Amino acid sequence: MTTEGFVRELCIKAGMEQEGIFGRGRKEGWLEAEDEVFKDLQLTRKNAARICHMYLLKVMKVRDLDIRGAAKLRDLYDCRACADHIAQVYLRGIMDAKNIKRDGEFLWFDLNGEDDDAYNSNVIDRLLLVHVGDHVHQDMSSS
């Protein structure tokens, strides 16, 4: 799914006007310029996490969770600019981690990976089900 596809599906499911969504989203602080400039590129997992987290903060007004519970993700600290985004969507069960079984079992968010359309649609569904005070991730990791 492209970034534009993701944003437009989010608009539809959230009942937002699609026209001008990139400009509006940037002004509201939940979309970045790169989302608009590179809207035709496939959406990476780290960018999906960023959009979802910032949408939670800026549109849904949901406060952040303590991210220490996401420290089990081996690649969490690989990205200073997106660690919090990843932690928040993981802890809220919006996006899953991958259970890697080589070199001993560990959880891997796969920052630069891409998900298929069905998964991304499901991410949007999960995002919109979040409510203030929702509890944390219940080990929904996929294998």
Q: How far is the CB of 136 from another protein (least distance, A)?
A: 15
19 binds another protein (CB under 8 A): no
Question: Which is closer to another protein, CB of 9 or CB of 84?
Answer: 84
The DSSP string of the chain is -BHHHHHHHHHHHHT---TTHHHHHHHHTSS-HHHHHTTTSBPBHHHHHHHHHHHHHHTS-PPPPPGGGGTTBTTGGG-TTTHHHHHHHHHTTSSPPEEE-SSS-EEE--TT-B--HHHHHHHHHHHHT--TT--------B-
Q: Which of 5, 11, 16, 38 binds another protein (CB under 8 A)?
A: 38
67 binds another protein (CB under 8 A): yes
- Contact residues for another protein (CB under 8 A)? 23, 26-27, 29, 32-34, 37-38, 46-47, 54, 57-58, 63-64, 66-68, 71, 76-81, 83-84, 87, 111-112
